[in-house]
Structure 1
Amino acid sequence: MDMIPEAFCPPAPIPRTVPPSRLTIIRTILRNPLELWGEPSYTLPWIMTRFFRERTLIVNDPGLIKHVLVDNASNYCMSEIRQLVLRPILRDGLLTAEGQVWKRSRKAVAPVFTPRHAQGFAGQMLSQTEAYVRKYENSGSEGKVFDIAIDMTELTFAVLAETLFSGEIVTESGHFADDVNQLLHRMGRVDPMDLLRAPAWVPRVTRIGGPKVLDKFRGIVRKTMDRRLDKMHRDRASAPDDFLTLLLEKAGPDGLTMEEIEDNILTFIGAGHETTARALAWTLYCVANTPHIRETMEAEIDQVLASGAEPVAWLDLMPNVRAAFEEAMRLYPPAPSINRASIADDEWTSPSGERVEIPAGITVLIMPWTLHRHALYWDKPRAFMPERFLPENRGKINRFQYLPFGAGPRVCIGATFALQEAVIALAVMMHRFRYDVTDETNPWPVQKLTTQPQGGLPMRVTRR
């Protein structure tokens, strides 16, 4: 009788059992916020606490999450700390805009990300992945070591550049992955001045050098916009009907300002591919540590590709590949926190009659990082078990206990795009190559806007 292999538990911080001091909180937030959370965050449905005299409600209960993000979403705005971190980078981009500005931007970009439109990108996703993985062709039977964290950033950027910008992003170097990492490292972290609610004009020591990197990104965006506008003015028929053109055509008194267009383009260039890249890298790492899961995925991929099925159908035809990717996003959610603030007094009553009062002004933290590893909602929460997400098991997962793309009006607009891209990329890579860990593969999850592997993800790539 075959033995079922023991489940693989990839690296993650052990929940704290002793409340941290104020100094420890500051140090941990600066180093890695994922290491801050204690045992109650992984075992209780909600916690009322204080961070630096600020009342904070940490929410894990799916019903309460639904109340905040969907049922009474209009009573919750972006939290101040979140905006202090992100607005200097993205300004009025889709991730940070609020009110009418957000509504205008969401309406403007929505047509590109309808499921039907996103499916039209499948061919480009396939061709870009096939072109990128040629770098592995000379790996040979012994294999060569590549930093998969960097590779996945480069791959997903290539896909984004081709699908949304028709390959016309004006990059200034061949080291775009390094540029993104520099931007997130210097600009994407909480600073002690943020915790103290210092005004935006007060310098943030942790962001020294960040404005220079940001100026570089904004320069890329402006040059990209200018070249496309020039093409549109000379001959509209020569301009691709892509995301970039769509946004530029929305400029005007009844649409978007040029500044809002710039902010949204920066949002998608700087962050639109980052989340998928991190999830792909973590998937390859987890799969490399579970040979029986890898064999199942390889067999499924080989069968579908041998059938000649078009890439647009792969998402439905490869449930095991999709399940592995979704399980990796459970363990390493690309966006590990969702931050809101209550505008007016609110309350919620659980099905068992417990009442939660939510005062005006309180910070509400919904943490996919802790929610996805919560003892109340998951069996073996720290283990990599893709079977949770197979079609026959999906019904057991509450919509609001799994939030890799958020929920409610501000749900990630690119969710379908990302899932399709991920399955196509994994299928192409795993059909041709195997990705294995080395003695140097010791990733540690660190929160820098996204959940990143500290020190990268060196993996050995061999031809199958």
Structure 2
Amino acid sequence: MDIQPAPFVPPAPKPRTTPPSTLEMIRIVYRNPLELWGEHTYNEPWISANGVGGHLIVANDPGLIRHVLVDNARNYKMATVRQKILRPILRDGLLTAEGEVWKRSRKAMAPVFTPRHIFGFAQPMLRRTQEFVTRYEDGGTSDIAHDMTLLTYDILAETLFSGEIAGEPGSFANEIDRLFETMGRVDPLDLLRAPDWLPRLTRIRGRKTMAYFRKIVTDTVKMREGKFKRDPDAVPQDFLTLLLKAEGPEGLTRAEVEDNIITFIGAGHETTARALGWTLYCLAESPWERNRVEQEIDRVLAREPDPTKWLDAMPFTRAAFDEALRLYPPAPSINREPIEPEMWKDLYIPKHAAVLVMPWVVHRHRKLWDRPNAFLPERFHPGNREKIDRFQYLPFGAGPRVCIGASFAMQEAIIALAIMLSRFRFDTTAETKPWPVQKLTTQPQGGLPMQVTPRQVR
């Protein structure tokens, strides 16, 4: 009789047992908001309290989450603090736009993310991954967190921009890290709701990096417009072309076009990159799960050459990725603010309250999950995933603002994992000591140095 080993419990901040002082809270929120939450946050259906910046509600109950994100979504706008962080970076991109601007952008982009178009991206995703993994052929140690940023950038550039993004991928990855290290943090003045005219240190430090990304966008648009003028028939019908065609009096402004380009270049690949890195790390620390995934991948690749079929054909691989998304949601916090006060059951939600729906907390909630801190892909195996409430698992959000690229990301992730794990084995080393830190996304502080070894598949 086989004995199932104890599941791997990956690193995470231990819930606080005492509330922080005001100064300590500001320091924690700036350094790593994941370290702020107390034990009661992971046990109660909701928390309602007065905080430094006003009233705070932490929504954990799936019914309450559904109410805020879906049933009464029109009463909730993007939270002020969140907008103060993201708008200087993304301006009127899809993640930060509201009202009519958001509707125009969503409508303009929707055709790119239909199932037919996403299936059409499968071969470029496969090709880019196959080219990328040749760097591992001689084995050795590599920072997988950094590598996954490069891989997903390659895939994004090839699929949505037909390989025509200005700038060099290596410097791009470094600048992304610098952007999240500066402007990706909560500024203490924003937390205190200080007047906008007071200068924010985080934004001052990020100006040079922000200028770098804006130049990439300007140069990318110029390249594509030049191609339009030279030979309109040779212009690829991709995401970039679609956005430019949507520009006009009834569509997007030039500024909105550029804001959406920077949203997808800067953030569109980052979330998938983080999720892939955490998946490889968790599998390396759970060799019994890795063996099951490798066997499944080897079996499917031997009989199914069409990568559009892999997502459905690899339930164990998908389950491992889903479980990594649960433990390390790339977007760990969804922030809303009620336009008008209301009641939900016996919870009063005052106007202008900060309503936090935090996948980081919801995904680890004691009342919603068995052994919530353990890496257990079986939660998402066929027959089990159907029992999970739609609003207790939110890696891509929910409601009208659900991530438009969720299906794109899932297909991309499974293709990338299939190619990487079919050819190479990823193992942790003595230096692999990641610590989850929230800087817009859930990042591994210290990176993910891993030993990569070519596999001998029989």
Which of the numbers 395, 398, 403 marks the counterpart of 1:404?
A: 395
Residue equivalent to 1:448: 439
Q: How many angstroms does 1:209 deviate by?
A: 2.5
2:129 aligned with 1:129: yes
What does the per-residue CA deviation read over 1:256-313, in whole Å, with 9 as the maximum and x for residues that have no partner? 0000000000000000000000000000000000111001001000000000330010
Q: Residues of 1 paired with 2:66 and 2:304: CA distance?
A: 41
Task: Note if contact 1:84-1:200 (Cα within 8 Å) is conserved in structure 2.
Answer: no
Residue equivalent to 1:308: 304
2:385 aligned with 1:389: no
Residue equivalent to 1:369: 360
Residue equivalent to 1:226: 222
Task: Note if contact 1:70-1:408 (Cα within 8 Å) is conserved in structure 2.
Answer: yes
Which of the numbers 305, 322, 329 marks the counterpart of 1:326?
A: 322
Q: Residues of 2 paired with 1:383 and 1:87: CA distance?
A: 35
Q: Residues of 2 paired with 1:250 and 1:207: CA distance?
A: 31
Residue equivalent to 1:299: 295
What is the 5 A alignment of 1:24-103?
24-103=24-103
Classify 1:367/1:277 alpha carbon distance in 2 versus 1 (closer, same or farther; 3 Å).
same
Which of the numbers 281, 287, 296 marks the counterpart of 2:283?
A: 287
Amino acid at match of 2:43: T
Secondary structure of the equivalent of 2:137?
A: helix
What does the per-residue CA deviation read over 1:69-109, in whole Å, with 9 as the maximum and x for residues that have no partner? 00000000000000000000000000000000000000001
Secondary structure of the equivalent of 1:208?
A: helix
Amino acid at match of 1:41: T
2:339 aligned with 1:343: yes
Q: Residues of 2 paired with 1:272 and 1:403: CA distance?
A: 17
Identical counterparts, % of pairs: 64
Residue equivalent to 2:111: 111
What is the 5 A alignment of 1:4-43?
4-43=4-43
Amino acid at match of 1:298: E
Residue equivalent to 2:448: 457
What is the 5 A alignment of 1:165-180?
165-172=161-168, 174-180=170-176
Q: How many angstroms does 1:35 deviate by?
A: 0.2
Q: How many angstroms does 1:395 deviate by?
A: 1.5
What does the per-residue CA deviation read over 1:1-55, in whole Å, with 9 as the maximum and x for residues that have no partner? 1110101000000100111111110110111000000011100000101221500
2:264 aligned with 1:273: no
What does the per-residue CA deviation read over 1:128-159, in whole Å, with 9 as the maximum and x for residues that have no partner? 000000000111xxxx1100000000000000
Q: Residues of 2 paired with 1:200 and 1:218: CA distance?
A: 22
Q: Residues of 1 paired with 2:61 and 2:291: CA distance?
A: 36
Q: Residues of 2 paired with 1:50 and 1:116: CA distance?
A: 48
Which of the numbers 401, 406, 429 marks the counterpart of 1:438?
A: 429
Task: Note if contact 2:150-2:170 (Cα within 8 Å) is conserved in structure 1.
Answer: no
Residue equivalent to 1:360: 351
Q: Residues of 1 paired with 2:445 and 2:104: CA distance?
A: 37
Amino acid at match of 2:235: A
Residue equivalent to 2:371: 380
Q: Residues of 2 paired with 1:53 and 1:433: CA distance?
A: 49
Residue equivalent to 2:412: 421
Q: How many angstroms does 1:203 deviate by?
A: 1.4
Amino acid at match of 1:249: K
Bigger mean CA offset, 231-240 vs 444-453: 231-240
Secondary structure of the equivalent of 1:341?
A: strand
Q: Residues of 2 paired with 1:160 and 1:47: CA distance?
A: 39
Secondary structure of the equivalent of 1:175?
A: helix
Q: What count of residue pairs does the alignment treat as equivalent? A: 455
Task: Note if contact 1:172-1:220 (Cα within 8 Å) is conserved in structure 2.
Answer: no
Q: Residues of 1 paired with 2:196 and 2:163: CA distance?
A: 35
2:190 aligned with 1:194: yes
Amino acid at match of 2:117: H
Q: Residues of 2 paired with 1:444 and 1:298: CA distance?
A: 26
Amino acid at match of 2:80: E
Residue equivalent to 1:146: 142
Q: How many angstroms does 1:115 deviate by?
A: 2.1
Which of the numbers 235, 238, 245 marks the counterpart of 1:242?
A: 238
Task: Note if contact 1:11-1:445 (Cα within 8 Å) is conserved in structure 2.
Answer: yes
Q: How many angstroms does 1:241 deviate by?
A: 0.4
Structure 2 stretches lacking a partner, 5+ long: none
Q: Aligned-residue CA RMSD in angstroms?
A: 0.9
2:244 aligned with 1:253: no
Q: Residues of 2 paired with 1:246 and 1:47: CA distance?
A: 43
Residue equivalent to 1:214: 210
Residue equivalent to 2:155: 159
Q: Residues of 2 paired with 1:345 and 1:35: CA distance?
A: 30
What does the per-residue CA deviation read over 1:174-224, in whole Å, with 9 as the maximum and x for residues that have no partner? 322111111111111101110121233321123333011001100000000
Q: Residues of 1 paired with 2:138 and 2:183: CA distance?
A: 37
Q: Residues of 2 paired with 1:77 and 1:293: CA distance?
A: 41
Secondary structure of the equivalent of 2:81?
A: helix
Residue equivalent to 1:352: none
Task: Note if contact 1:375-1:381 (Cα within 8 Å) is conserved in structure 2.
Answer: yes
Q: Residues of 1 paired with 2:7 and 2:428: CA distance?
A: 17
What does the per-residue CA deviation read over 1:403-431, in whole Å, with 9 as the maximum and x for residues that have no partner? 00000000000000000000000000000
